[in-house]
Amino acid sequence: MLEFLSMNCFDSRSVRRGDTFFALQGERVSGESFLEEVAQRGASSAVVSKAYNGPSYGMELTYVDDVLAELQRRARARLEAWDVPVIGITGSVGKTTMKDFTAKILSEQFVVGSPIGSYNSQVSLPITILNFSGSEEVLVLELGMNQPGEMARLVSIARPTGAILTHVSGSHLGFFDDLSGIAREKVEIFNSDRLKWGLVSEQASKWCSAEVYGYERKGDCVRIGDSPWFDFHMLEAHFLANLSGACMCARKLDMDWQTIIAGATKLKPSRHRFERIEKEGVTIIDDSYNASEVSTINALKHLPEGKKRLLVFGEIGELGRFSKGAHEAVAQVALECVDVALCLGEGSKPIVEAFAKMGKYSLLAKDKGELKREMERIGADVVLVKGSKYHALWEVIE
């Protein structure tokens, strides 16, 4: 599987010699403020707003009305001129793992282009597209959103030929009226003008008519569609769901089951996504990349057995008026699954309060330093680390 080389950048810190820098407008500062820095780092050109009247610092400047719109236009134009299958993947939960599983399995037969991590936004998706080498035979892209209208815009850029919708849940509910609003936004992925096929999880199938992916399991063996039974090494339900979607995608691209299964045996969890770490007799489940109500509950229910199980949790963001109810739901499952809860963020108070009510130890920490000290003091043998991305809770275990 190919990883793209950075030739177009929006982050001044990642600029290298010969790169093009897109001077995007930030919330507090304009990208033009970094032109001198990126020139010193070796950038050869930059795309700037027509309103900019400062020096070029030796770079070739392209002046446009809207830098973000120009970035997206260039990405769209590149794919319009490139006859390559594009697999678009979205969902509230599991889309990055689905993307990684799909790319890994497809790479058994194709040269695959797919971003590292979650490059799925209005900015990072088009940058991803521009930075592919051009030698890829299949692209596997992740499309993310948190507000109405964003999915349609990404679909118009990526124009998927195949689409996969994973689980739909209450992530970003603060920007929508209800779950149906999120679902309506997600199913926009099936409105691509180049779409040939679509796959959807059983949970999300009530919102669209795409083909449902799924699996059968007997012990350590699974079967997907018309596949033979085969051994698989990650038997948690969310991994099996992602496996089934990735395998069915491969079948859509005419891969045989022998090749697909060979790829499946090489799969491993994506970074910070239910990643199991064994350290000095402690089992750490690093699921710290992001959190929703559904993904947190799923993680809790799939914890390995232990003498003392600990939840290290960062509040779920972007829930608005739904925050209290979501954290109360997490609290009820956490009470059944762990012995101690260490929390960060005011939104997680319902968890702390629920544990206190049941006589279980919990703490609302003031910062990650206090979380780490308490983790070490408590001495649990199974630890789940889970929280919204902005908490960067992976830092407490690195």
- Give Cβ neighbours of residue 328 (< 8 Å, ≥ 6 apart): 350, 354
**pLDDT tens digits, 106-149:** 999 999 999 987 889 999 999 999 999 999 999 999 999 988 99
What does the pLDDT read at residue 172? 64
**pLDDT tens digits, 352-390:** 999 999 999 999 999 999 999 999 999 999 999 999 989
The DSSP call for residue 122 is T
Mean pLDDT along residues 321-331: 93
The alpha carbon of 333 is separated from its chain's Cα centroid by a whole number of angstroms, namely 24
Residues carrying CATH 3.90.190.20, the chain = 275-396
Domain 275-396 has CATH 3.90.190.20: yes
CATH fold, domain 8-64, is 3.40.1390
What does the pLDDT read at residue 1? 45
Helices (H), the chain: 35-40, 67-80, 95-106, 124-131, 150-158, 179-186, 237-252, 257-264, 293-301, 323-337, 349-357, 368-378
Residues carrying CATH 3.40.1190.10, the chain = 71-264
The DSSP line for 312-324 is EEEPPPS-GGGHH
Alpha-carbon gap, residue 238 to 261, rounded angstroms: 18
Phi-psi region of 121 (alpha: psi -120 to 50; beta: other; left: phi over 0): beta
Mean pLDDT along residues 89-115: 96
Residue 97 contacts residue 272 (beta carbons within 8 Å):
no
**Percentage with pLDDT > 90 across the chain:** 85
Q: State which CATH number among 3.40.640.10, 3.40.1190.10, 3.40.190.10, 3.40.190.80 fits the domain covering 71-264.
A: 3.40.1190.10
Alpha-carbon gap, residue 159 to 37, rounded angstroms: 35
The token duo for 139 is: 């692209």
Residues carrying CATH 3.40.1390.10, the chain = 8-64
**pLDDT tens digits, 166-212:** 999 876 667 787 888 999 999 999 999 999 999 999 999 999 999 99
Query: What phi and psi values does residue 277 have, to the nearest 5 degrees?
Result: -125, 125
Mean pLDDT along residues 74-101: 95
Name the pTM for this structure.
Answer: 0.82
